[in-house]
Amino acid sequence: MTALKIGAFYNPHLGRELAAAQGIDHLAMADPPRADDPWWPKIKARYTLLLHDYLGQLSEPLDERSIQRARSLAELYHTPWVAEHFQCLHTEDGAYNLNYVFPPLYTEEFLTRFVANANALKARLDQPLVMENIPGFFDVRHSQMAEPLWLRRFFEATEVGFLLDLPHVWLEAHYRGVRPADWLAEFPLEHVIELHVAGVSQDSDLQGPWIAPAEPAQEMLEFAAHAVTRCPRARAVTFDAFSPSLTAEVLLRGVERIRAALA
Amino acid sequence: MTDRALHDLVIRALADAPFRRSAEWRQRALADPERVERFARFLARHFYFERIVHFFKYSGALARLTGRRPDAVLGQPAFAALLPSLVLGSQDSARAVAGLVVAHVKSGAPSPPIPYHDDLLRYEQTMMVVEAGPRVWREAGNGQPATGNAQPQTVQGTALLDLAYDLPAVLPKLLQPFTTVPDAPARPVRLIVARSRHGRVAVAKATDAIVSILDLADGRKTLDDLAREAGLRPAEVEATLQGLTELGAVRFSTGS
């Protein structure tokens, strides 16, 4: 395994701090830079940037407009890979939209759709494609296989990279009542290129933990340290915190603690 | 039913609270209803948090004067009371949530007073309501709208907003650091607020020609009809329609 790069998400409201920060190897870009962002030129000049925008949902083929947008962002960032999510969050007719990542049904039909559409997208990109796992808060009884098996078959069929979001795995394990390390072991870790690490906090609607723009707890850091030993092709770990409420202190300390935990 | 269609039902159930209570959904027993309800409420709060922060950003910038952060409504009982009726993305739900925000922000008297505060809140509320509605996520063809001999039609939900203050002159200044609240010129302006098929909301000052064409464009009249009835030159109608199409206020129907 090559030396892991440790990075964070670009939060434009923290542009000043990120432009001067030490100890951050890369920044993931969740949104295109704003035209009036005074820190963007310095950020672009200084950091390796990872394209992590909303590109679409691969239950349907991306249209030409979305592909051109992805290509143009990839070129702007000089990204080493392009990230997309295993998500299906709006209805086919556009009438309903959850505005939040939501996983597909784990069925043969959806697997066929995602494989075909990921292969089509991959063929139109000049960079490798990586796909991020998305947590389910509840199981849909129509699913035909467990998520890890569905993912394994997807990666074998497409040979795209795996962006392993560890808090997503941790949350699923929590809500399933299983040990996170045991649940993690089910996933196709040999395909992992990048890992996400993040904090979780109690959510009053969910009546349980969920992703939050907070520092990762010690348990999550230990989970990350365990996970990277199982991911021989991993090249980067990213502190997955992106929110207007995120403070520079939390972001910088989060990266520092991840780096220390993985040293 | 395909898996894709079944998944659409799950998405709808998460987005549409009345549908979650329907027999059509409940009889399918696709998922633990308690879990679905909890996740749906989480999604609703997230959905409206993003929209309130975005569309009420000027009120957010004025919060240190009003003492009212717009997104604070999401933690109030009035929002919780709306949850059983919310349909994410519907104009009615956007109107209800935006109404709560306006009432909340208005309940804090800014010190010193901001003369254009009511106009500002109406502007932000209108933006949030116009943004709601179904959207095109992917183009089936080349994405170019039909024109030619087609008949223009005003897009449902497009809004005209009459203001007593020239808000566009002051809005950018509200997002910059300031010690005294920037002034807005006290002169009436009429704005058109529209939404593209992809959900992008845009605002422009409305001219008399724009107002006439919006009134007349019903999807049946041709460009010549519009020019004659509005008393405008065809070239002026064409130029105005091009601007309105780009804004998302007008689209062309090709008939059946």
B12 CB neighbours in chain A (<8 A) are 91, 95-96
Residue of B nearest to A202 (CA): B42
pLDDT score at B256:
40
**Which has the closest alpha carbon to A203: A179, A174, A180?**
A174
**Which has the closest alpha carbon to B196: B253, B140, B100, B131?**
B131
> Quick check: B8 and A96 CB within 8 A?
yes
> Quick check: B135 and A97 CB within 8 A?
yes
pLDDT one-digit tens code per residue, A18-60: 999 999 999 999 999 999 899 999 999 999 999 998 889 999 9
- Taking only residues 97 to 126 of chain A, the set having a beta carbon closer than 8 angstroms to any beta carbon of chain B reads 97-100, 102, 104-105, 107, 109-110, 113
> Quick check: A107 and B3 CB within 8 A?
yes
Chains A, B: CB contacts within 8 A come to 114
pLDDT score at B150:
76
List the single range of A92-96, A218-222, B46-50, B249-253 with lowest mean pLDDT.
B249-253
pLDDT band of residue A145 (cuts 50, 70, 90) is very high
List the single range of A118-122, A198-202, B88-92, B219-223 with lowest mean pLDDT.
B219-223
Distance from CA of B39 to the nearest CA of A (A): 6
> Quick check: B15 and A96 CB within 8 A?
yes
Of residues A141 and B140, more confidence is placed in A141
pLDDT score at B148:
52
pLDDT score at A246:
94
The average pLDDT across A71-86 equals 97
Average pLDDT of chain B is: 92
Average pLDDT of chain A is: 96
pLDDT score at A37:
94
**Contact with chain B for residue A90, Cβ under 8 A:** yes
The two tokens of residue A58 are 């691969």
pLDDT one-digit tens code per residue, B13-38: 999 999 999 999 999 999 999 999 99
The average pLDDT across A91-107 equals 95
On whether the CB atoms of residues B255 and B151 are closer than 8 A, the answer is yes
Residue of B nearest to A142 (CA): B30
The average pLDDT across A56-65 equals 93
Domain residue ranges in chain B:
1-133, 144-256
pLDDT score at B254:
55
Nearest to A95 among B5, B134, B143 (CB): B134
pLDDT score at A244:
87
Distance from CA of A181 to the nearest CA of B (A): 24
Give the integer Cα–Cα distance in Å for A161 and A233. 9
The average pLDDT across A61-70 equals 94
- Taking only residues 177 to 216 of chain A, the set having a beta carbon closer than 8 angstroms to any beta carbon of chain B reads 203, 205-207, 210
The average pLDDT across A135-161 equals 97
Residue of A nearest to B4 (CA): A110
The average pLDDT across B112-135 equals 95
Query: Is pLDDT of B255 > 60?
Result: no
Secondary structure of residue B154 in the 3-state scheme: strand
> Quick check: B89 and A89 CB within 8 A?
no
The average pLDDT across A222-247 equals 96
A91 CB neighbours in chain B (<8 A) are 8, 11-12
Of residues B253 and A234, more confidence is placed in A234
Percentage of chain B beyond pLDDT 90 is: 69
Q: Hey, CA dihedral for A247, A253, A256, A261, is it positive or negative?
A: negative
Nearest to A56 among B29, B89, B138 (CB): B138
A109 CB neighbours in chain B (<8 A) are 2-4
Percentage of chain A beyond pLDDT 90 is: 95
The average pLDDT across B177-193 equals 94
Q: Who contacts A182 (Cβ-Cβ below 8 Å, separation ≥6)?
A: A173
Query: Is pLDDT of A190 > 50?
Result: yes
Secondary structure of residue A196 in the 3-state scheme: strand
pLDDT one-digit tens code per residue, B130-168: 999 888 888 775 545 545 557 899 988 899 999 999 999
Domain residue ranges in chain A:
5-262
Q: Using N-to-C axis directions, what is the helix angle for A218-228 and A166-176, rounded to 10°?
A: 110
Give the CATH fold of the B144-256 domain.
Answer: Outer Surface Protein A; domain 3 (3.90.930)
Q: Which of A67, A205, A211 to mutate to probe the B interface, most B CBs <10 Å?
A: A205
Statement: A5-262 belongs to CATH 3.20.20.150:
yes
The average pLDDT across B66-88 equals 97
The average pLDDT across A204-210 equals 97
Q: Which of B1, B9, B10 to mutate to probe the A interface, most A CBs <10 Å?
A: B10
How many CB atoms lie under 10 A from the CB of residue A186?
A: 16
List strand residue ranges (DSSP E) for chain B, in order: 151-154, 159-163, 189-195, 201-205, 250-253
> Quick check: A206 and B53 CB within 8 A?
no
Give the integer Cα–Cα distance in Å for A144 and B63. 50
Nearest to B4 among A59, A95, A138 (CB): A59
Nearest to B35 among A104, A137, A142 (CB): A137
